[in-house]
Structure formats: structure tokens, C-alpha cells
Amino acid sequence: MVSCEEENELTITPRTDFTLNNPQIGTVIINSNYDEASEALRLTWEDFSNTSGDYTLQMSNDDEFANMTDIASVSEKNYTITFNDLNTGLVALGINGLTSNTLYLRISKDTATTNWISFKILSTTIPVAAPQLLTPTTGDSFILETDKQDDEIATVSWSYTNESSKSITFSIEAALAGTNFATIVSGGIVEDATSISWTTLQLNDLALSAGLIIEESGDLDIRIKASFIDGSNTVEVYSNTNTISVTPVDFALPPALYVVGAGAVDAGWGWTSPVELLLQGKKWSGNIKLTPNNGGNFRFFTDKTLEWASPSYNFPYFKDRGYTIDSNFEDAMDGDNNFLFVGTEGEYFIEIDTDAKTITLGPPVVGPNCNFDQLWVVGAGAVDAGWNWNSPIKISCTGTGVYQGNINLTNDAFRFFTTKDDWGSGRNHPFYANDGYTIDSDLEDALDGDNNFKFTGTPGEYGLTIDTVNKTIELGPKISLCDLDQLWLVGAGVPDAGWGWATPVSLPCTGAGVYSGQVTFANDAFRFFTEKDNWSSGLNHPHYVGEGYTIDANFEDALDGDNNFRFIGTPGTFTLTVDTVNKTITLN
């Protein structure tokens, strides 16, 4: 018989394991030279599971995968992780740059997951999470105003958390919208901060530097650049971009405004005789004849040499900037939205105050036109004043925006004041210097606690002129403040003089256009004269009435052959003042 050996059974168990191969990586370093598309590490895995579907690469910063993010989804059993994948994963996990972290990777498919592998990642250079620009937001609009140049108008803020010990520099960048930041203008640089404020002046400079046009709304793109130095390399990461609109202005107020239009009687719609309103400080002002007839409309222009090409200010220009406008003016609602005068035809004094944001009409100004009737000087440098209000030096308004007076100066400090007895109304050296004034070389900043003026020239009496239109402060020879050194009084009504030239009474010039002095009067006639010993230089009662003077009730027309003055009050000695500026003759 043939014998056969019994065969042993072989049992083969199918594999069901799902395993991620360990690439044995210790540390992955992201440095300043990295290319986001470059390979950081390559993963392979084996899959004998009975699951179906694609593979998902999962990343976590803990081995329980409680804080987890998906990196990629693939159908193959291998994947090359790029630096961009790592960067994206770190951001998703809330891990900031400039830190060392342990990361865990695994593969999932359907309900199955592989083992995990771990490695360290050291981001020594780049901010892994880019900053997020928060404000200003897209769509924000800024209409800038000339009288608010130092006011804070916007806050640029962004989010970024730096958990490392390294400092990060944040740069605010601006450019014309839609130019992809081809030409960048800096909006400020800070270190380890998340906000910066802009004043109106700063935003205006930014807008103009970027290429926006004065008085025209334009769009700017804003972004944040986060950067730091890594050896010889500068690493930069950018935020999102927000787009804002800005209407820039010219902070140098034009030295004059010119009124043209049918409502301005002396101007009309032409450039032969525009009405000029000069700038004094922050105010344009002047007398103007207005009418509601012939349309009654007009507009302000800044440069008469350009005529119709000149920049101009219509009614909405001021209204949109919050001005309170006199009720005699309305929007003409014509093609140019001009001003419309709706008041009573006549002569007015118009003032445009850019500080108070008002446009007002009042009675016409007779004589010089200044923001103040006078300025006052107090201080040790003003010999006759000192640091008190007993005898301040008056510097009178003598012309349009011009103050003049004589002052005795010594080498010490002093200050100008706009209001007598009010220390808070002072104007020191920086007030004028910062406003662009050319200041006499003998007047410098005292650099004391109040930055007063200090006189450094030869002590003595000087003529002081402050021109607020041309922005100058000058010292010169003593000024004759009147057309004449004095007026003369002759007549029986002035007993010390009588009708002769032996002892005429002198009324000296004591201020800008002011003649004043002690005179003894009797109930009789007299006359003013401009020249001693010259009978033909007389100025009688009708002369002053015809010039629009307000004359003290103690005087009347004598109605004699020469229409002299007659004193009708109680005889005695009085202070007689003839003010040729305000056109008054008064007794005290």
C-alpha cells in the first residue's frame, strides 16, 4: 500500500491595520528664507482597514487631539506637507509665531484613525498669524476740516498676539485704492502695539502724499505690515486691506476771500471788482453791499488771479462743515449751490470765523477793521506796564488787521493780551511763531515758563506794528498814530485861547487816530484847526456831521457865519476826545 502524509492547514489572517509611518523627524524650523510651497516633511501610511473614502490629515497640539484642525484631504497614501500647510495649521490652532511647539499628526478615514507621530516646530522668524486690521473699516469716510488740524480724527487698530519675547514692528501703510500698494505712504510705525491715532493734520498729509486732491473725496487702501529682523533678513507679513474715503483740505487758509456774484452789489458776476475779505488770524471779514435782487446769489473764491478757475466755497461747503450761517443767507439751489442773500439790501460787515464756525452779518465797520479794538502789553519788558493791569500798554487797531502803538522797552519779558484784566487771553511768542509770523529779530522767545516775548535790543521807545494780515511783528521808530500831531482849538468858547493865535489850545494825538486832552469851555463858539496860524485849516460843526461823527450833546452848531461849534453845557474843564477812527467827539 502506498502511504500518504497528512498536510498541515495554513491559516492566513487578513491585515486590518491602519498605520502612519514615522518619518523620524525631530524639529521642523520655519526660518526667514522659507518658501511656503516648499516641502516641510513627507508622510506615508499603510491602510489595510475595511474603511472607505478619502484620507484626512489632522494636526493637533495635544496627543488627545482635543484641539485639532484638518490640514488636507487626499486619496493617495502619501502626502507632502508644505510650509504653508504648517503655517495654516498653526494659525487654526491659535499658535502664534516666534514660539516652539510640539505638534501631533495622524490620518483619519471614515471612522478609523492611525497612530500619531509628533515633532517639534520652531517658528523663529515669521509671525505665523498675520495681523487683522480692525479700524478704520471699509466704507468709513473722513471730511477733514481746517480748524481741527490737531484734533484726533481716527484710530487705526489691529489684532495680534505675540506670545514670544521678540519684538514686532507694525507699520501702517496707505496707497491709492486699487493700486495694489504700488506706491506706499507711511501712516506711522509702532513696536509691540496694536493701535495708533491720527490727527486731522496727519491724515491730511497722508491723503495728499498718496495723491488725493484738496477738497475732493478720494479712496485710500489701508493695511498693516508686521515685520522684524532675522539676522540680515527682514521678515514681513501683511494684514487684510480696508478702504476708506478722505476729503483733504489746505490748512494754510487763503490770505483773502473774494466775493463774486449778483448778490454782491460792487462785484456782480465778473472779476473787474470782486469784494475782498482779508484774513486776520482765523477770520475773513470786511464790509460788503448785499442785495437780494438780480438773483441775489454769490460765491467765495480764494484766488482772484485764477478768476473762474479759482477754488471756491459755496453754501454746502460751509454747511457740511458744521458752520452756523446767518439767517440772511440760504442755499441758492442753483447749479453751483451758491449763497443766496435774502435780507434787506444794504451795506453789512461780514465775518467768517473758522474757529467758531460761524458766518455772521452785522452793521458796517467804520474805520479800521481788526478782530480786536486793541491789544494789550503787560510785562517787565514793557517799562510803563510791568506785570500787572494798572497801566497796560494799548496797541490800537489802526488798519485792516493792523495794530500799532508806541512802547518803551527794556531787556526783559512781556506778553500780548486780547482782553484787558484777563490773564487767560495772553498770546506768547510761540502763538505767533507757530502761525507763520515773521517776528522782529529784537524779539525772541523768553523760554520761561510761559514762553513770553523777550526784548533783546537797545532799551528805548519804539513803534510797534503787528500786522495780522501779512503776519509780521515789527519794531521801528516811534510812530505818529494820527494824521496830525495835534488839533488846535480857537474861539471864545475856549477862554484859554480866544479868537486869536497867541495861545491856541492844543489837542494832542494820544492814540491811533485819537486826539485827546484837557480843555476849559465857556458857553460860546469855537472851531478846530489842523494847522496853527492858518485860519483856512478850520473844521467846523457841519464838517464833522458830514463825516458821520456822533457829537457830544454839549456841542451844537453855532449857526453863525462859519457854523462853528458852540458849547452849551455847564462851563468848566473837561477831557475832550476826538476819535477819528470811531468817529466820535466826546466830553468827560
DSSP string, 172-222: EEEEETTSTTSS-EEEEEEES-SEEEEEHHHHHHHHHHHT--TTS-EEEEE
Confidence of residue 27 (pLDDT cuts 50, 70, 90): low
Strand-pair partners of 234: 229
Classify 545 as helix, strand or coil. Answer: helix
119 vs 414 pLDDT, higher one: 414
Confidence of residue 124 (pLDDT cuts 50, 70, 90): very low
Confidence of residue 365 (pLDDT cuts 50, 70, 90): confident
Confidence of residue 355 (pLDDT cuts 50, 70, 90): confident
What residues have CB less than 8 Å from 11, skipping those under 6 apart? none
33 vs 138 pLDDT, higher one: 138
- pLDDT by residue (tens digit) across 38-91? 788 889 999 888 888 999 999 999 999 999 999 999 999 999 988 778 877 877
Pairing type for strands 472-476 and 438-439 reads: parallel
CATH architecture, domain 18-123? Sandwich (2.60)
- pLDDT tops 90 at residue 364: no
Q: Which fold has domain 132-247?
A: Immunoglobulin-like (2.60.40)
Between CA 385 and CA 417 the distance in angstroms is 13
Domain ranges of the chain: 18-123, 132-247, 256-362, 374-476, 486-587
What is the DSSP code string of 94-145?
A: T--SS-EEEEEEEEEETTEE---EEEEEEE-SS-SSPPEEEESPTT-EEE--
Q: Which of 373, 353, 352, 358 is nearest to 275 (CA)?
A: 352
Decide if 72 contacts 79 (C-beta within 8 A).
Answer: yes
59 vs 99 pLDDT, higher one: 59
Confidence of residue 10 (pLDDT cuts 50, 70, 90): low
Biggest alpha carbon–alpha carbon distance for the chain: 186
Q: H-helix or E-strand containing 573?
A: strand 572-579
Q: Do domains 256-362 and 486-587 have the same CATH topology?
A: yes
Q: Which three cell numbers stand for residue 553?
A: 450833546
Q: H-helix or E-strand containing 527?
A: strand 525-529
462 vs 86 pLDDT, higher one: 462
- pLDDT by residue (tens digit) across 234-269? 667 788 999 999 999 887 789 999 999 999 999 999
Decide if 344 contacts 380 (C-beta within 8 A).
Answer: no
- By the 10 Å C-beta count (0-12 exposed, 13-18 middle, 19+ buried), 188 is classed as middle
Residue 6 DSSP one-character state: P
Domain 486-587, CATH among 3.40.710.10, 2.60.40.3620, 3.20.20.70, 3.90.1210.10: 2.60.40.3620
Q: Which three cell numbers stand for residue 408?
A: 518803551
Q: How far is CA 199 from CA 179, 204, 240, 320, 505, in A?
A: 25, 8, 23, 20, 62
Between CA 170 and CA 133 the distance in angstroms is 11
10 Å Cβ neighbour count for 28? 16
- Our separate counts of H helices and E strands in the chain read 5, 48
- pLDDT tops 80 at residue 569: yes
The rounded radius of gyration (Å) of the Cα atoms in the chain is: 42
- pLDDT by residue (tens digit) across 413-438? 999 999 999 999 999 999 999 888 99
Q: Which of 518, 399, 381 is nearest to 468 (CA)?
A: 399
Q: Which fold has domain 256-362?
A: Immunoglobulin-like (2.60.40)
Between CA 555 and CA 586 the distance in angstroms is 9
Confidence of residue 127 (pLDDT cuts 50, 70, 90): very low
Q: CATH assignment of 374-476?
A: 2.60.40.3620
Between CA 136 and CA 196 the distance in angstroms is 11
- pLDDT tops 90 at residue 204: yes
Strand-pair partners of 68: 60
